[in-house]
Amino acid sequence: MQTATTTHLAGQGWTQPLPTALDSAQTLVLAFGSSQLAADAPALRALVEAFPKAVVLGCSTAGEIAGPEVNDDSLSVAVTRFDHTRLALAVAEVTQAAQSGTAGAQLAQQLRAGGEDLCAVFMLSDGLSVNGTPLVQALAQGLDAGVAISGGLAGDGSAFQRTWVLAGGRARPGCVAAVGLYGTRLQVGSGCQGGWMDFGPERSITRSEGNVLYELDGKPALDLYKSYLGELAQGLPGSALRFPLSIRRPGSDAPPLVRTILAIDEAARSLTFAGDMPQGHAARLMRTTNDSLIDSAAQASAAALAGASGSGDALVVSVSCVGRRLVLGERTEEEVESVLEAAPPGTGHVGFYSYGEISPGPAGGASDLHNQTMTVTVFSER
């Protein structure tokens, strides 16, 4: 396989010419761009027109990852032509959270039609009108257990107003899309780490519906959350990214999941999260340090690289949470640089800051929706 990367910077153009010679039916083009890019933006049009045979997939972000850099108002692109791997694109609508499970099942049905040798799926979803938990679960349930699933939810910085997914030649909201990778020569490695720590009392989720949390310990969730944030509550929902919630099933030995807020409802005193907030689960606030976030990114990368020991070029795709970027501030690029520390020279690296990350957990196993993690997926061929 061959991989080339380039970035379109506002007012400057492409850092490297688009590698049109790599266009083929076995070429995957990943593009991560500013949420402010219009659907008919010249850079997006040029990208789609340059690769008429390839699968072109992308989404809006809360920051674009290009090699060791993090950019805003840009378009970060990786073009990979596989030698032994077939590709197929699947697309579904998800204009409201209740459609999430159906969308995941539709993607699975489309991907199964591509062949029995499906090896991996990379999925991108609208970041606002979705419940990532049933989306990922329905997709996984519709595929064989050995299929590696990764990806993320599109972002919109800290604005939480507009996200888009690029698929089928169009960038649009209310869309979820996935590329299926087929064949026996593909190697896929995954890594997922958070670096967050629980603090404060453990509370019970006493009232919730799907990804909407109404009450903790019988009290309005929004009121309780505001009391913790203090002056930071004025910046909700964006300020909540600094203090996510960990949730766990009482009595379970499984690692807790981390959830971040997508929206608040002042009238209902509720919080809407990127994934399910099951009633009866225990919840605790979380916090972190810069060094802990950077170290966890390096751990995620090491795990992913160990699982993809192919020869030749490799494509590394990093999906990190917008909340991590808000905490890291000027040290954000240190997190991205840590991903590349153990990567072979010449590795292509792109990614984005997201509203949710899709990956197997830190201990492996089935893929799920995560928040506040750095997830790394490595593709190579043997």
Tell me the C-alpha distance between 177 and 360, whole Å: 19
Q: Is the pLDDT of residue 26 over 80?
A: yes
Tokens at 164, concatenated: 């888009």
The pLDDT value given to residue 297: 97
DSSP-based three-state secondary structure for 42: helix
Give burial (CB, 10 Å; 0-12/13-18/19+) of 185: middle
DSSP-based three-state secondary structure for 319: strand
Cβ-based neighbour number of residue 23 at 10 Å: 17
The 8-class DSSP code of residue 234 comes to: G
Q: Is the pLDDT of residue 278 over 80?
A: yes
- For residue range 192-244, list pLDDT tens digits in order: 999 999 988 999 999 999 999 999 999 999 998 898 888 888 888 878 888 89
Tokens at 305, concatenated: 């690289």
DSSP-based three-state secondary structure for 328: helix
The pLDDT value given to residue 310: 62
Q: Lowest-confidence range among 109-113, 116-120, 224-228?
A: 224-228
- For residue range 279-318, list pLDDT tens digits in order: 999 999 999 999 999 999 999 999 999 888 766 789 999 9
The pLDDT value given to residue 98: 95
Element (H, E) at 291: helix 290-306
- For residue range 310-332, list pLDDT tens digits in order: 667 899 999 999 999 999 999 99
Give me Rg for the CA atoms of the chain.
19
Size of the chain in residues: 382
The pLDDT value given to residue 311: 64
Report CA 272 to chain centroid distance, whole Å. 18
Cα-based distances in Å from 6 to 15, 103, 378? 6, 31, 18
Residue 251 or 270, more confident: 270
Cβ-contact 142, 60 below 8 angstroms:
no
- For residue range 91-103, list pLDDT tens digits in order: 999 999 999 999 9
Mean pLDDT of the chain: 94
